[in-house]
Amino acid sequence: MFTITDTILDPPRFTFLPAIYQDATRRKWAVHQRGATPRIFDYADVLQCEIVETGNPEDVPQLSNRELAQQILINPAQATKNNAAKRNMCLGMGVVVAVQTGEDEISKLEIPVTAGEVKRDCGLYRSYRNVAEQIKEAFDAMGRSEQ
């Protein structure tokens, strides 16, 4: 039995994002993809949770002008992403949860918060970051309650 006591993620309609619910009294949580049967997990199944971002300026390689020109020709999309990262742009953000899905099986639940470009020093970025931190905190609390 599963009774929703909290909603961790209530995705917008017409998206492919799953809803994520919690049953705090039974120490369970569920992932529900529209049109599918919910997948129910125990709190103990949460192994790790972290916020991930794409477009980290520290990950951009330092290239000479010649190497940069070659990269633009070979992979213009990557060159564009690198340029955006250098301008302090976050190119995407999400929460990744490592979940024990079988005796010897671990799966990743990837919860996207945004896939668009946003400057790291603007209010919209802080709003996205707050949403990601709230989701992470919900999963971290599940892990803490097991200890």
CATH architecture type of domain 6-55+91-145: Roll (2.30)
Give the whole-angstrom CA distance, residue 46 versus residue 50. Answer: 11
Specify the range with the lowest mean pLDDT, choosing from 6-15, 39-48, 53-62, 104-113. 53-62
Only one residue has tokens 């709190």, namely: 43
pLDDT tens string 89-127: 888 899 999 999 888 899 999 999 888 888 889 999 999
Residue 145's pLDDT is: 61
Which residue ranges make up each domain of the chain? 6-55+91-145, 60-87
- Sequence-ordered list of residues with C-beta below 8 angstroms from that of 40, at least 6 positions apart, any chain: 2, 28, 29, 30
Q: 14, 15, 20, 63: which is closest to 40 by C-alpha? A: 20
pLDDT given at position 31: 94
